[in-house]
Amino acid sequence: MSTWSRDLVTSRLTRNSSPPKIDPNMAKSISLQDRFYSMRTSLPSCIQLHEADGDTFELKPQFINTFPKYHGLESENAYFFIREFEEVCLMMRIPNLGNDSIRLCFVPFALKDLAKKWYIV
């Protein structure tokens, strides 16, 4: 911030500059990426599967693409979606996982848009 004052000897105006005020938030060294791209956090899934006996399984993309998609619109029939979803789940066999566990694993991939919002909340 600068102020003006009159010099008593020469009668000229002189500018008195004070050092700029430093914003404490700006004083921290934060990268541009941290400033413009906020931290992304995700909620843990509400579906908790029991631990398998040391065996792991892989959800393959070709499995995910076979599921019907449910968007949560009024024009969609939820019962028809559930029937199709269960039919596709019955065709899959994953070692050490029962039918219910398979269904629970794939539910997030079948829901879209409004239905996905319902699932997350």
Residues 66 and 27 both lie in one domain: no
In-domain check, residue 90? yes
Per-residue pLDDT tens over the stretch 10-43 = 878 777 776 666 666 665 677 777 777 766 666 6
In-domain check, residue 49? no
Most confident region among 49-53, 64-68, 79-83, 117-121 by mean pLDDT? 79-83
Which residue type does 114 have? L
Q: What is the pTM of this model?
A: 0.55
Residues 70 and 32 both lie in one domain: no
Written as six digits, the tokens of 39 are 């931290």
- Is it the case that residue 96 has pLDDT exceeding 90? no
Q: Give the range of the structural domain holding residue 90, as residue numbers without chain letter.
A: 61-120
In-domain check, residue 53? no
Written as six digits, the tokens of 13 are 């105006």
Work out the number of other CB atoms within 10 angstroms of the CB of residue 49. Answer: 14
State the pLDDT at residue 14. Answer: 79
Chain centre distance of CA 3: 50
Total tally of structural domains belonging to the chain: 2
